[in-house]
Chain A
Amino acid sequence: DIQMTQSPSTLSASVGDRVTITCRASQSINRWLAWYQQKPGKAPKLLIHKASSLQSGVSRSFSGSASGTEFTLTITSLQPDDFATYYCQQYDTYPWTFGQGTKVEIK
């Protein structure tokens, strides 16, 4: 199985901060990577697919990038509604796998 490793596991930030979350795949996934935001008790929300394509209706403050097997989710200016847990997920090869999550907390 392809292992997805996110860092950091927890991130403390303030409103207005620029935030970066990294996800590393254990092998090539050809940019078939998605990012999700999940709030407690809610279903995950798709933010980014194909590494850098913004899902329809998602704020442009979210962006994704890729370099080889390393992927990055950036939030340019953290808003109160952005405090949540973020997951990366590869969909290159079954079984599709997720990172362990990054919790973005209020500093």
Chain B
Amino acid sequence: EVQLVESGGGLIQPGGSLRLSCAASGFLARGYHMTWLRQAPGKRLEWVSATHSGGTTYYAESVKGRFTISRDNSKNTVYLQMNSLRAEDTAIYSCARVVPDDSGWIPFDYWGQGVLVTVSS
């Protein structure tokens, strides 16, 4: 059974750092593009960052230079290092996988349950 389990969320002061983890099971994450998304209360879903199976990484402009996505294939885990956190980063953060398909990609077929990150003094 495919599962994605996030951890590492919590309450952090502005300017602080957190590292989120997304542990995958039931499949080998190294063969998939893995993504972090977030949803602030009452707001639409927002794509944050992606790491492709080949190693290329992508970031939303709002987090570029502050967040870093990485993966540890030996642990089947994807990470999101978040530095210089701001109040506007407060959201539920979820990881999701993207399936490379013969005709392109199938986006976000599995999601984690999400972790809450609250940036507040």
Contacts and interface: CB of A to CB of B under 8 A. Distances in A.
Looking at chain A, what size class is its interface with the partner chain? 20 to 34
Interface in A47-85: 49-50, 55
A55 B45 CA distance: 20
Contacts of B47: 94-98
Contact of B106 (A44, A49, A94): A49
B85 interface: no
A100 B43 CA distance: 7
Contacts of B94: 43
Contact of B44 (A91, A95, A96, A99): A99
Given A97-B47, A99-B44, A91 B105 contact: yes
B61 to A, nearest CB: 7
Interface string A90-107: 010011111111000000
A46 to B, nearest CB: 5
Contacts, number: 53
B111 to A, nearest CB: 4
B109 A55 contact: yes
Contacts of A49: 106-107
Majority DSSP secondary structure for residues of B touching A:
strand
Contacts of A95: 47, 58, 60-61
A45 to B, nearest CB: 8
A32 B98 CA distance: 13
B94, B108, B112 interface centre (most CB from chain A within 10 Å): B108
A87 B104 contact: no
Given A89-B108, A96-B107, A98-B46, 10 more contacts: A32-B104, A36-B108, A43-B94, A43-B112, A44-B45, A46-B108, A50-B103, A55-B106, A95-B58, A99-B44
21 contacts: A34-B107, A34-B108, A36-B45, A36-B108, A43-B96, A43-B111, A43-B114, A44-B111, A46-B106, A46-B107, A49-B106, A49-B107, A50-B104, A55-B109, A87-B44, A89-B107, A94-B58, A95-B61, A96-B47, A98-B47, A101-B44
